[in-house]
Amino acid sequence: MGGMQAVTSWQPDKSELPADETRWVEKAQGGDRQAFEQLYRSHRDRIYALCWRMCGGDTALAEDMLQEAFVRAWNKLNLFRGDSRFGTWLHRLSVNVVLSDRRIRIKRLQREQVLSEGIERTLQSDRDVSAGLARDLEMAISQLPERARTVLVLYDIEGYKHNEIAELTGMAVGSSKAQLHRARKLVRKVLNDE
């Protein structure tokens, strides 16, 4: 073959794994919880640091993800075939745990946001809000002194100009402006007090 070698897939030699870790993995796969505890102690800090970084420094969430990663590792330990180091397998599994949790939280937040907006629209639809405000505004206008109420209704609701209001009511243009200012101030006070 003149210097060309066949490419083969690399398989780790059991001797490359720390002897204790290899023994702990084998025992843990057999159901030995103390052996799994040794694996936990051996990898906890590195997996926590990974989770903490992936969770944006959220300590509580990182703790939850650390625990979830090790629970999942215990439940899937029979799937570890030794093709890589246990720490590499655990690292990959932990990344998947955090990413899966993130996807679930994002979906939940989106669902809650849509649901919340839907409920809010149902409870306080535009019509309901407008109807309530219209009733409050009508009540506030009805409580105004007569001249102030007349100017407010003619100017703000009906669209008359001050000179037209003055002509219709027999008051000066300046008085119409003053009554409008007074009416708006009183309406705001009534609406703010409620």
Q: The CATH number of the domain where 170 resides is what?
A: 1.10.10.10
153 — pLDDT class (breaks 50, 70, 90): confident
- Of the residues 122, 148, 180, the one at which a domain ends: 122
Count of domains in the chain?
2
Most confident among 101-105, 107-111, 180-184 (mean pLDDT): 180-184
Residue 3 has pLDDT above 80, yes or no: no
| Tens digits of residue pLDDT in 115-132 | 655 544 444 444 455 566
Structural domain includes residue 5: no
Answer with the residue of higher pLDDT: 43 or 113: 43
| 179 & 101 share domain | no
Residue 15 has pLDDT above 50, yes or no: no
Answer with the residue of higher pLDDT: 122 or 154: 154
The pTM of the full predicted model, rounded to 2 decimals, is 0.50
What pLDDT sits at residue 39? 96
| 94 & 57 share domain | yes
| 52 & 99 share domain | yes
3-state SS, the chain, equals CCCCCCCCCCCCCHHHCCHHHHHHHHHHHCCCHHHHHHHHHHHHHHHHHHHHHHCCCCHHHHHHHHHHHHHHHHHHHHHCCCCCCHHHHHHHHHHHHHHHHHHHHHHHHHHHHHHHHHHHHHHCCHHHHHHHHHHHHHHHHHCCCHHHHHHHHHHHHCCCCHHHHHHHHCCCHHHHHHHHHHHHHHHHHHHHHC
- Of the residues 122, 156, 181, the one at which a domain ends: 122
Range of the domain at 44: 16-122
| 26 & 67 share domain | yes
